[in-house]
Amino acid sequence: MNAPCPPTAGSGTVCSRRSALSRLLASAAAAVVAPLARPDSTRNPLWKTAVGLNGFESAGRKYGRTYPIWEVLDFARHEEFDGIELVQGWPMGDYPAAEEAARIRALKRLYDGFGLRVFSLQLGAGGAFAPESEARQQWLDEFRDRVQLARQLGCDCIGLWPGGGLRGQSLDEALDRLAGSFREAGRIAADHGLIAAFEIEPPFVFNTAEHLLRIHREADHPALKVIYDPSHYDLMNGSTGRPHELLQRVGLENIGYLHFTDTDGTLRDGGTSKHLPAGDGHAHLTESLRILREGGWRGWAMVDAWEIPDPYDACTKAKRMFDAAALEPRHPRDGGKPAN
């Protein structure tokens, strides 16, 4: 079953497939001459905003829907997002290797044609804490290749998810090995002008605030940062609806980029933290954005619509929240000065 076309801005109505196709053809024709662009006045003044392809991949898999990539990218351009985070294997095929120049050019041209930047890649990191040193080295070799790919695509960041079992080692041993691999990953990323950022989730063996803080502290590299995902932070903070409390413990200077989503503080179908569209859950998201804004954090804010039935709706709601927060004046205690 094909997914409906994305809603037009502010209307909430569903457009026809013919209308979306007409827009696509117009976009493609313009891209032959030059990538689509928009005036700077339409951009978020604080954060570069992005759509995560993981939301469309997971919704398609879980709910049996189809999201053509051209439709997703046209939606992202229409809603004035700046970029995209790629996910392995979707919509078709794995990432190209760093030496596959023709495939990389073709991939980059697709996103350039819609005026969108690939800002990050998602990578698994189970090998980063393997008990065997050879397996950890193999993971680092693959990471180095992915960093070179990310650099060619024009990315700023590269995301890491250390899932997988302990494989006979203790939790402390796994934490130490992961921190060591992540320290080297930070060095590799820094050599290519990138930020490596990691995230832990409830199904992982690393799934508490203490684990998160320890991994980052022991990795101890300035280019190795943390992804702020309010749904995971909420569960690690006791499902209180106050993920910003853990955000403040981590420190804004240690945040690489955002995976932005709401939550109700539970797990989805026994899996990871339930993701909900911004404003549909119990998380105090506006407080998170206020802290980020007033604390001077600047970077990529990606909408994480993981297994949300309507990822278009989730992206639209988050984008409106980003833009509203960026335009709010600073708190009176800061002199009421607008954010720069």
Tell me the average pLDDT across 203-222.
Answer: 98
Stretch 31-57: mean pLDDT: 74
Instruction: Tell me the pLDDT tens digit for each residue of 275-314.
Output: 999 999 999 999 999 999 999 999 999 999 999 999 999 9
Helices marked H in 89-161:
101-112, 133-153
> Residue 328: pLDDT band by 50, 70, 90 thresholds?
confident
- What does DSSP say about strands 300-303 and 83-86: parallel, antiparallel, or unpaired? unpaired
The pLDDT confidence band at residue 30, using thresholds 50, 70 and 90, is very low
pLDDT band at 332; cut points 50, 70, 90: very low
pLDDT digits 0-9 by tens, 72-83:
999 999 999 999
Strands 300-303 and 255-260: parallel
Report in angstroms the alpha-carbon separations of 129 from 18, 103, 213, 222, 329. 49, 31, 16, 20, 44
Phi first, then psi, for residue 47 (nearest 5°) are: -125, 145
Q: Quick: pLDDT tens for 133-142.
A: 999 999 999 9
The domains found in the chain, sorted by start residue, are 43-327 (3.20.20.150)
DSSP code for 48: E
pLDDT-based confidence at residue 41 (cuts at 50, 70, 90): very low
Q: What is the mean pLDDT of residues 63-77?
A: 97
pLDDT of 142-184, one tens digit each? 999 999 999 999 999 999 999 999 999 999 999 999 999 999 9
Bin 15: left if φ > 0, else alpha if -120 < ψ < 50, else beta: beta
- From the number of C-beta atoms within 10 Å of its C-beta (0-12, 13-18, 19+), residue 188 rates as buried
3-state class percentages of the chain: helix first, strand second, coil last, to nearest 5: 45, 15, 35
- pLDDT the model gives residue 270: 79
Q: With CA atoms as reference, report the closest residue to 143 among 105, 199, 97.
A: 97
Which two three-digit tokens encode residue 286?
């506006």
90-to-138, 278, 319 alpha-carbon distances in Å: 24, 24, 23
> What are 240-288's pLDDT values in tens digits?
999 999 999 999 999 999 999 999 999 999 799 999 999 999 999 999 9
Contact present, 327 and 289 (Cβ < 8 Å): no
What are the DSSP E strand ranges found in the chain? 48-52, 83-86, 117-124, 157-161, 195-198, 224-228, 255-260, 300-303
pLDDT reading at 3 higher than 70 = no
CB atoms closer than 10 angstroms to residue 287:
16
Listed in sequence order, the residues at least 6 apart from 251 whose beta carbon sits closer than 8 Å to its beta carbon are none
Q: What's the CA gap between 320 and 318, in Å, rounded?
A: 5
DSSP string, 81-102: --EEEEBTBBTTBPPPPTT-HH
Is the pLDDT confidence value at 9 over 60? no
Average the pLDDT over 231-238 and give the result: 98
Q: Tens of pLDDT along 81-99?
A: 999 999 999 999 999 999 9
Amino acid at 31: A
Per-residue pLDDT at 340: 30
**Which pLDDT belongs to residue 330?**
61
Q: Average pLDDT over the chain, rounded to whole?
A: 89
Task: For residues 234 and 243, give the distance between their C-alpha atoms in angstroms, rounded to a whole number.
Answer: 4
Question: Which of left, alpha, beta for 89 (phi over 0: left; psi -120 to 50: alpha)?
Answer: left
